[in-house]
Amino acid sequence: MNNQYIPLNSLPIGKKARVKALVSDGNLRRRMLDFGLISDTLVEALQKSPSGDPVAYHIRGAVIALRSEEASQIIVEPTY
């Protein structure tokens, strides 16, 4: 993995990134693919919940809330 890649849960609020890999398997991987999280998909971190987890992400025109555990299995390349 390239040093410029980070897990999605490390992306700062208000920043965008491109999906590079999914490291999950099974039902979670299928769920991520159903959301449209495939290679080069643009994702933006919108806001954290009051408790800090989950975080809302803008993905392909939809706002999706992902827990940190789920987001940590999505590897992205920040666009900043």
Closest CA to 75 of 48, 49, 38, 47: 38
Q: What pTM does this model have? A: 0.87
CA atoms within 13 A on the CB side of 72: 5
What pLDDT sits at residue 3?
Answer: 67
- Alpha-carbon distance of 39 to 26, in angstroms, equals 18
Residue 75 has pLDDT above 70, yes or no: yes
- Buried-exposed string 30-61: b where 16+ CB fall within 10 A, e elsewhere: eebeebebeeebebbbeeeeeeeebbbbebee
What pLDDT sits at residue 35?
Answer: 87
The string of pLDDT tens digits covering residues 24-64 is: 888 989 988 988 899 999 999 999 999 889 999 999 999 99
- What are the domain boundaries of the chain? 6-78
The string of pLDDT tens digits covering residues 3-20 is: 699 999 999 999 999 999
What pLDDT sits at residue 51?
Answer: 87
Contact 49, 55 (CB under 8 A): yes
Instruction: Tell me which CATH code domain 6-78 carries.
Output: 2.30.30.90
